[in-house]
A and B are shown apart, each in its own frame.
Chain A
Amino acid sequence: MNNFSYIQVNSAKEATGYRQATPQAAYIAGGTTLLDLMKGNLEEHPQLVDINLLPFKGIEQTSDGLRIGAMERMSDVGEHPLVLQQYPAVSESLLLAASPQLRNMASIGGNMMQRTRCGYFRDAAFPCNKRVPGSGCPAQEGNNHNLAILGTSEACIATSYPGDLAVALAALDAVMTLENAKGKQRRVPVTEFYVLPGKTPQRETVLEPGELIVAVTIPAAAHARRSTYLKVRERSSYAYALASAAVGLDVQNGTIRSARVALGGVGTKPWRSPEAEKVLTGAPATEATFRAPRPRPCVGPSHATTTASK
């Protein structure tokens, strides 16, 4: 890990000010992604700006839904009564992630910014377009069984966001609040926060340099109250998803009134499936509906199509 200076700040203005002064500096919250990467010399930062004292705290009911501060910890959010009752998929996505120790450390903002588990990205000895733009993508021909199927490009086929929370948030139409150096806030839906790799896999989100994640707000909805997160792993706990699904259904008198479906582990970003939602909406809530084979349930601008058309 390279040497760095450390600054603890009390306000967003100070935080963004330090990032402007030293563009290569990084914010540190729980440190569970950042220090992991810095130890492997996969990221180097001359300065770490500790944002843990920023007032981005609280889990509270607002007119837009449940607002969760970016500095809240995964464990506290996952076990919060309002999250458990109104957004079970979110609670499950948090409590099935990482380990109790990591969840005590990891912040919601940091979680949204975690990086891919692609083995080539995580080994500085290999080229990788995401880590060193233009250096190549050994995963295309190499060990890629855990990488993405949907939304891939010639440049990168990694599941850029390998985690769980953002999948549940994408399904439930959550909106992020971001704040820039001028103190100006903007709101971005989680489904638009992550971007496809295209020719620039190093760019993973719409977050501008130095911009802060302030909070995430999840609208109240009947399908959110009846939601769940299914995670399939190589072992029964403490592992990343091979594939996962966040599903919310509003069922009245046996009919699905509204449906939300997002997939994890299979797309280059948390993958909302409007196709699956369309098929479910208005259908009877029966096993036959859920099991029926669907033609092309998920369509994405996949790399496979590009290659095939060459």
Chain B
Amino acid sequence: MTDHSTPDPAALPNGPNHDGRRSFIKQATGFLGLALAPPLISQAERLTAISKKVEGVTEMRLKVNGAVRTIQAEPRVTLLDALRERLDLTGSKKGCDHGQCGACTVLVDGRRVNSCLTLAVMAQGKEITTVEGLANGEELHPLQQAFIDHDGFQCGYCTPGQIMSGVACLKEGHAKTDGDIREWMSGNLCRCGAYPNIVAAIRQVEKSGFKS
């Protein structure tokens, strides 16, 4: 069950799970009604403005690659599992599931993060970009093209994470020198050791003056 609620501070010393719960939800619904009033604001944006409690399987709305998608999931579901298992976006890879390899890198509000250590419930209301969202129709993103030009992969397992991380690295201005690229791409491991070619691919895009 889900309740999107703003606790009455007076009810708080004992927390929300005491007998005042029902009136609590009622009040909260009243408050929600107000909050829902302004049109044109997305559901998720409205919800981040007030406290919310999520329990068990509930509906979550994720904005992925520009489109809002709905899933039914528990709060413990990670963004990576939501993308791969629920939304069929299997580009993002699960290497370690512990923040150690970077294979799951996606952009959240334009910043690169490890989706394996991000809860889907906490990614609601944010812009999520995965490797599937980079190309413009048939036209590859310049960094995708550069990975092909420079053989930036062997088995390809780390590649979506490398590319998402590389896109952010370029945007951050951390790709000015090869040394910088190596340091600022160190959150993405490659078992095949394609590192020199990955550096070359990022350098090519940096030299081309491409701005994300």
Contact = CB atoms under 8 A, between A and B. Distances in A.
A237 B75 contact: no
Interface stretch (A98-106, A244-252, A270-278): A98-106
Interface in B109-124: 111-114, 117-119, 121-122
Interface stretch (A30-38, A291-299, A302-310): A30-38
Interface of B: 6-7, 9, 12-18, 48, 50-56, 74-76, 78, 97-99, 102, 105, 111-114, 117-119, 121-122, 165, 168-169, 172, 174, 182-184, 186-188
A135 interface: no
B202 to A, nearest CB: 13
Contacts of B119: 6, 28, 31, 35, 48
B97 to A, nearest CB: 6
A105 B117 contact: yes
Given A3-B76, A36-B99, A100-B168, A13 B187 contact: no
A75 B169 CA distance: 13
Interface residues of A, number: 39
Contacts of B56: 5
A102 B169 CA distance: 14
B51 A6 contact: no
A288 interface: no
A52 B124 CA distance: 13
Contacts of A32: 99, 114, 117
9 contacts: A5-B54, A5-B56, A6-B121, A17-B13, A18-B12, A20-B15, A36-B98, A39-B97, A99-B99
A202 interface: no
Contacts of B187: 98-102, 238
Given A21-B15, A48-B75, A238 B52 contact: no
Contacts of B13: 17, 20
A238 B13 CA distance: 42
Contacts of A17: 7, 9, 12-13, 15-16
A101 B52 contact: no
